[in-house]
Amino acid sequence: MTDFSNRSRDVFLIQTDMIDRGAMMSRYSRTLNLDIRDVYDREFKNNPERASNFYKRIFLDYGDESVAELTTAQLGIQNISNVLSKVIEEPRIGLSYLEKSSRYVKYNKKVNGNYLFLPGNEAGISGMQEEYNNLCTELFDFYSTSYPVMIKYFEQANPPASFMFEVGGKNYSYDDLKSADAELLDKSYRSSLRSAVLDEIRSLLPASTLTNMGLSGNGRAFISLIERLNAYGTPESMKYADLIYHELELELPELIDDAVTEHGKAQVDYIRARNAIGNNIPFNRTRQEKITLISYMNEDAAIDVASRLLIYQNTGLYGSDSMTPDQELSVIKEIIAMRGNRRHKIGRAFESINYTFEVIMNYGAFREFQRHRFFSIIRKPLSTDYGYDIPENLAKIPELREGYTELMNKAENTYSRIKERYGVMLAQYVVPYAYKYPVAFTANLNELAYFIELRSNPQVHPDLRRVAFDLYDQIRKVHPRLASLIKYIDTGEYKLGRLPAEVRKESKKKSLSGNGN
């Protein structure tokens, strides 16, 4: 591989060793005329210690942390629990993630005789590992036996003949299309059934369920990740902090060392102390509202600020315009009229309008909710304190409902015993996704509009769709005029929400195959 993709153009890929890249690019701030490619030839190419010495001198000695953002790495992390994956995914900047999905992957297989959950001894519960492992195994067993029962139920409740299918922008009944392409329809229908059932039975999976992740990020974010994992303080989190550090040490030598210096250790101590604030304050669990709007702006004030920011690029200093309240509202209405689809975002001006909510959703829904990293989420360890949800369709099958309820109650009892002996941080591993999980978060109107419109579409898990509807209702109550900006919310009811998308996907695949691609 060459050091640069080209030597003559003003845009080029830097293809040197990763540890050289950040050190070399930092020279942009202190090099007057030289092409950075010439800087590399002169200072780095024949000096393998140059970058390492640079990080020792600049980064470690002087704490210039922004330099660490110029180096990146792609990391695979496998066989971690869903407790740990949520800790890893908490940062809003610096890291990008892909994670194994419980919506599209069946968790009914065993590896070496065991289901895919973190064993009790590895979770730090060696003294109660038999009770822990038995519960997790029972949850997976019930998940596995529920799958064919639920498939049969959904088939009977949602026969393909009852659906309309969109093909080429037109709607057709099943009978209209069956003779033309029965295979495509059947494949789409089966895939939708599978997704609908997995959406329901994922509630049974415990937080100890193993997952795999791919991370891409910069050195500074990885340093912070290692510190946070050490601060989290569970055996699993500290094990993976060490594993991540040693892998990145090979790719980002010297730089990643900041995670384990005295500076890094002091940061871990600070995070632990900060997280411990208030842990002795008593509280009750009697309030069970699904959503609470904690704080928000006066609507007139919000419209005033957002409208003036909308026109800011075309006016003088902020507030130098002479808009009346009616004109301010007219500006908002212009945006509403302009939006042709949900990809037309309402814009940064509306990031000046903020809301703080507490939302009680089940843990399964939270796993998807957390992906929206513009949300400033504050959360607590998972628990059984707030009860659990019963999937709508599973609840209609008496034998499954009874077994499901028994397992949820058993999980609560096991959680309580582990909590008493090992504390809340380790007890959360046995909590199923079905259990309700309160989180507080702050978000701006621009991001909330995006979330509500995206997460109300038919393909979204029903639990997360309900969260989107609830957020919209709360905004509409206090800001009815601003809520009109959220014009692409889909409140329809769908039996198999993924079916239209599956038909479109299979049609495209067939078209590509027919074109020889």
**Would you list the DSSP string of 480-500?**
HHHHTT---------SSTTHH
pLDDT, mean of residues 72-87: 94
pLDDT score, position 283: 78
Is residue 293 a contact partner of residue 355, using CB atoms and an 8 Å limit?
yes
Letter for the amino acid at 153?
A: Y
Burial degree of 155 (CB within 10 A; 0-12, 13-18, 19+): middle
Instruction: Decide if pLDDT at 349 tops 50.
Output: yes
Q: Which of 220-224, 250-254, 373-377, 501-505 has the lowest mean pLDDT?
A: 501-505
Reported in sequence order, the residue ranges of 352-448 that DSSP labels E, i.e. its strands, are 354-362, 376-378, 436-444
For 393-397, the CB contacts below 8 A with 24+ separation are: 393/150, 393/153, 393/154, 393/157, 393/196, 393/200, 394/146, 394/150, 394/200, 394/201, 394/203, 396/153, 397/149, 397/150, 397/153
CA 469 from chain center: how many Å?
A: 19
CB atoms within 10 A of CB 253: 14
- φ, ψ of residue 355 to 5 degrees: the values are -135, 145
Q: Rounded mean pLDDT of 261-288?
A: 85
Global pTM value: 0.88
Domain boundaries, the chain: 1-70, 291-382+435-486
Mean of pLDDT values over 344-367 = 96
Amino acid in the structure at residue 88: I
**Which token pair is 433?**
């996704």
φ/ψ of 479, rounded to 5, equals: -135, 65
Residue 175: half-sphere exposure toward Cβ, Cα within 13 Å: 2
Query: Which fold, 291-382+435-486?
Result: Gyrase A; domain 2 (3.30.1360)
Query: What's the rounded Cα separation, in Å, for the pair 307 and 56?
Result: 49
Arithmetic mean of pLDDT, 231-244: 96
d(CA 312, CA 304): 12
Q: What is the mean pLDDT of the chain?
A: 88
**pLDDT value for 514:** 61
**Measured torsion, CA atoms of residues 234, 239, 243, 244, in degrees rounded to the nearest 10:** 0
**Amino acid making up residue 292:** T
Residue 372 identity: H
Q: Give 116-136 pLDDT, tens digit per residue.
A: 999 999 999 999 999 999 999
Say which residue the tokens 């999976």 belong to.
Answer: 205
Identity at 224, one-letter amino acid code = S
* E strands present in 134-289: 164-167, 170-173, 210-218
Phi, psi of 388 (to 5 degrees): -140, 160
SS3 360: strand
The confidence score (pLDDT) of residue 268 equals 94
Q: List pLDDT tens digits, range 146-192.
A: 999 999 999 999 888 777 766 666 777 777 766 656 677 778 788 88
Distances 229 to 72, 209, 232, 368, 419 between C-alpha atoms, Å: 19, 18, 5, 21, 21
Q: What distance in Å separates the CA atoms of residue 21 and residue 42, rounded to the nearest whole number?
A: 14
pLDDT at 165: 67
Q: What is the pLDDT of residue 498?
A: 63
Query: Which residues, other chains included, contact 140 with Cβ-Cβ below 8 Å and sequence gap of 6+?
Result: 107, 108, 115, 116, 117, 204, 205
Give Cα separations from 144 to 126, 138, 139, 185 (angstroms).
26, 10, 9, 26
Rounded mean pLDDT, 58-64: 55
- Kindly compute the dihedral angle of the four CA atoms of residues 338, 344, 348, 352, in this order, to the nearest 10 degrees: 80
* 16-30, 189-203, 484-498, range with the lowest pLDDT: 16-30
CA terminus-to-terminus distance, the chain: 30
Calpha distance 476→64 (Å, rounded): 45
If 0-12 CB within 10 Å is exposed, 13-18 middle and 19+ buried, where does residue 239 land?
middle
Contact 82, 366 (CB under 8 A): no
The values of phi and psi at residue 260, to 5°, are -120, 10
Q: What percent of the chain has pLDDT over 90?
A: 60
Least confident of 31-45, 254-268, 289-303, 414-428: 31-45
Q: What pLDDT is stored for residue 517 in this prediction?
A: 44
Q: What is the DSSP letter of 384?
A: S
In DSSP notation, 50-113 reads: HHHHHIIIIIIHH--GGGGGG-EEEEEEEEEEHHHHHHHT--SSSEEEEE--TTTS----EETT
- Cα–Cα distances in angstroms (integers) from residue 170 to residues 166, 340, 368, in the given order: 5, 20, 32
| Cα→Cα distances 231→212, 235, 268, 373, 506, Å | 22, 11, 5, 21, 46
As a whole number, mean pLDDT of residues 376-397 equals 95
Mean pLDDT of 489-502: 75
**H or E element in which residue 114 lies:** strand 114-115
